Structure 1
Amino acid sequence: MKEKRFIAKYWAYLFVAIPVLLQVVFFFYPLINGIFYSLTDWSGLTSDYNVIGLKNYTDILRNPDFYKSLAFTVLFTIGLIIGEIGLGIWMATLLNRKIRAVGFFRTWYFFPAVLSTVTLGLIFSQLFNYGIPQIGEVLGIDWLSENLLVQENTVITSVIFVALWQGLAMPIIIFLAGLQSIPEDIKEAAQIDGANRSQQFFRIELPFLLPSISMVFILAMKSGLTAFDLIYALTSGGPDGKTTSLGLMVYQYAFNNNQFSYANALAVILFVFIAIISVIQMTISKRFEV
């Protein structure tokens, strides 16, 4: 009996140790290593480096391109958050109704999530370059007759549109699950008391959706602040650095300029930024959860 308990305890520790080891090797070690190299002048090409303290961080704060990239990243993230929460709740509400072929529509809305982000970026890049301008010429719309990705006044909106086209799939599923978790007796009681559709949404459905909103907020914020592959495939940061995200800026300094220590410092700043916003958001949302 004691031997069986020992074996069971041994296997329990083993199964716990494996994910902990993977977390240490693939997350904590690279994180600590990245923070250390951000305090050096390491180029990434040789093993030689000098510890220079916070010089990389001070250089970043003096770099005007950093603030330009930060402004685009924040704007892009806000667009994703508002779009995924607003449109996600609206579409989930429609799909939660008892309509014909609802299963087909649920599958159709999730289809964009299956596509690779790079593939999606390349497809829409061709659409913006060849397809949409031809539609604009046929309809006689001047601003639509040119590639929207090369115009400074339309490129950000176009990038957010493409990101939402794919990014809405998962929020719809999350909000749909949240709506379906609401007890039917609460809805029936509200209908008996004479609550209209708007009152049912704001007084019943929205409070139940707050945990889902919190989750979608964090996912959208993470996708926006760490955006790289879609931006790289669509615009490569152009025109004139208008769509250079912080993630793309890290890549450019690391692999184009061979300034790995500077890129690590950028990544650390981005990590701290995401952590602070996540903590604030979760603290606020917990006060309003049902």
Structure 2
Amino acid sequence: MTTATTAPSGRRPGRPEGQRRPERQRQSTWRRRDAATGYAFVAPAVIGAIAFVVGPLIAVAWYSLHEWNVLANTFTFVGADNYQAMLDDPALHDSLLASLWFSLGVVVLNLTLSLGLAILLNQKLPGTTFFRVLFFSPVVVSLVAWTIVWGFLLQADNGINAFLSTLGITGPNWLRGSVTAMISVIVVQVFKNVGLNMILFLAALQGVPEEIQEAARLDGAGALRRFWSVVLPMISPTVLLVAILTVVGSLETFALIDVLTDGGPGTSTTVLVFYLYRQAFEFNQFGYASAISVLLFVIVLVLTLLQWQTRKKWVFHEA
């Protein structure tokens, strides 16, 4: 006669207690190692963000509350005086208006042209690879070199006007008129970066399933209707990305203005970043320039948040 043995109460049958503890310790050690590895990978990015983004932002906000004279070696707390000075500065108002026109022109022309080029180069036609490289090549060219070349082309008797004269057209002095100078810097900026946005749009267009477009075609939708109702909603996340990048990039344009027009004629192309530079490094008003930097940061932040908040209404796959 055999008798069944039962495990002591309070202990599960299976491995002995002494074998389970080392296994738990090993799992805990692995988890700690995984966590340490993850922290080690993200640490450079976090440290870089604190050192080069968060830290400078705090420093600029602090400087904006002071009058900092480097030549006299004085650093005086003035509170909100620099911000009050911005409200009373007509030159700052002119630079804000110039930034508005410049950004509006760059964003509209860049998005329209880059999307149109992407649609054309998405066709299966001979030579599309060559034109893709051709339109993208300005992106990898030095901005200063690109701007200097365009400076020669836009001179009164060179480049563009010389070509127009062969057609019997007298071109304007592009960089000496307020309106033509703004148009010139917008076009030069767009041609410099349109290739990058074109590639982004081209990648998005190639990700649209052909089956969906074929179904719309069978339902009788024309080319324009298919693009507006099928293709555009599906590439809307890329449209949002390109719009944010283009808006932020247009508000941060400096080298192009500095080399091509030096903010002129008058103050017609003195955008906010260029006006900030002049206040800091030409007039040595670092406190006032820091206040303008805070204003620029707020403008970029507000525009980015507005674009991000409106995504739910028109970006595909968003709740």
Task: State TM-score, norm by structure 2.
Answer: 0.86
Q: CA deviation at 1:133?
A: 3.1
Q: CA deviation at 1:115?
A: 1.0
Partner of residue 68, structure 1: 94
Amino acid at match of 2:229: R
- Between the aligned partners of 1:3 and 1:153, the Cα distance in structure 2 is 68
Amino acid at match of 1:177: A
8 Å CA contact 2:67–2:287 kept in 1: the answer is yes
8 Å CA contact 2:143–2:255 kept in 1: the answer is yes
Alignment of 1:130-141 (within 5 A): 130-141=158-169
- Between the aligned partners of 1:29 and 1:78, the Cα distance in structure 2 is 31
Q: CA deviation at 1:108?
A: 1.1
Q: CA deviation at 1:139?
A: 3.1
Amino acid at match of 2:282: N
- Between the aligned partners of 1:34 and 1:24, the Cα distance in structure 2 is 14
Q: 2:46 aligns with which of 7, 15, 20?
A: 20
Alignment of 1:223-242 (within 5 A): 223-242=249-268
What do the CA deviations read for 1:66-108 (whole angstroms, capped 9, x no partner)? 1111111011101111111111111111111111122111111
Residue 251 (1) aligns with residue 257 (2): no
Unaligned runs of 5+ in 1: none
- Between the aligned partners of 1:119 and 1:168, the Cα distance in structure 2 is 17
Partner of residue 93, structure 1: 119
What do the CA deviations read for 1:161-215 (whole angstroms, capped 9, x no partner)? 1111112111111111111111111011111111110110011011112111111
8 Å CA contact 1:40–1:49 kept in 2: the answer is yes
Q: 1:270 aligns with which of 291, 296, 306?
A: 296
What do the CA deviations read for 1:222-243 (whole angstroms, capped 9, x no partner)? 1111111111111010101110
Which structure is richer in relative contact order (CA contacts within 8 A, separation 6 or more)?
A: 1
Residue 118 (1) aligns with residue 118 (2): no
- Secondary structure at 2:197's aligned position in 1? helix
Which protein has the bigger helix share?
A: 1
Task: State TM-score, norm by structure 1.
Answer: 0.95
Q: CA deviation at 1:147?
A: 2.8
8 Å CA contact 2:254–2:274 kept in 1: the answer is yes
Amino acid at match of 2:213: K
Unaligned runs of 5+ in 2: 1-25
- Between the aligned partners of 1:134 and 1:199, the Cα distance in structure 2 is 43
- Between the aligned partners of 2:273 and 2:71, the Cα distance in structure 1 is 21
Q: Percent identity?
A: 35
8 Å CA contact 2:240–2:315 kept in 1: the answer is no
- Between the aligned partners of 2:126 and 2:160, the Cα distance in structure 1 is 33
- Secondary structure at 1:169's aligned position in 2? helix
- Between the aligned partners of 2:211 and 2:166, the Cα distance in structure 1 is 54
CA distance change for structure 1 residues 4 and 282 in 2, over 3 Å: closer, same or farther? closer
- Between the aligned partners of 1:245 and 1:193, the Cα distance in structure 2 is 50
Partner of residue 33, structure 1: 59
8 Å CA contact 2:95–2:270 kept in 1: the answer is yes
Amino acid at match of 2:111: I
Q: CA deviation at 1:269?
A: 0.2
Alignment of 1:163-202 (within 5 A): 163-202=189-228
CA distance change for structure 1 residues 36 and 110 in 2, over 3 Å: closer, same or farther? same
- Two-structure CA RMSD over aligned residues (Å): 1.5
Amino acid at match of 2:160: I
8 Å CA contact 2:204–2:238 kept in 1: the answer is yes
Amino acid at match of 2:142: S
Amino acid at match of 1:92: A
Partner of residue 156, structure 1: 182
- Secondary structure at 2:76's aligned position in 1? coil
CA distance change for structure 1 residues 186 and 48 in 2, over 3 Å: closer, same or farther? same
CA distance change for structure 1 residues 184 and 133 in 2, over 3 Å: closer, same or farther? closer
Q: Which structure's CA Rg is the greater one?
A: 2
Matched length: 288
Amino acid at match of 1:120: W
